[in-house]
Structure 1
């Protein structure tokens, strides 16, 4: 069970790191379409990530 908890902790940390990177990129003026292409997601999803959804 400890492995499950550890894996979940890693997922949570990775999502937080991704959100911080998205927020930083957008604040630096990187277009959402470029961020989306880098992540392999839609522009709409980039805004969801930025907003913590």
Structure 2
């Protein structure tokens, strides 16, 4: 597993996944993630255009 080039990312996702299982955990509204999503989409579009 450690030889996987995305090992660190996989571990982070696993930690986030476990954190999502906390009962009554407060989460942000979807609108709070819109700026992040816009940045990701713009970066992806720019890379595809290049």
TM-score range, shorter chain: 0.3 to 0.5
> With CA pairs under 8 Å and 6+ residues apart, which has the higher RCO, 1 or 2?
1
Normalised by the length of structure 1, the TM-score is 0.37
Normalised by the length of structure 2, the TM-score is 0.39
Answer with 1 or 2: which has the greater Rg: 2
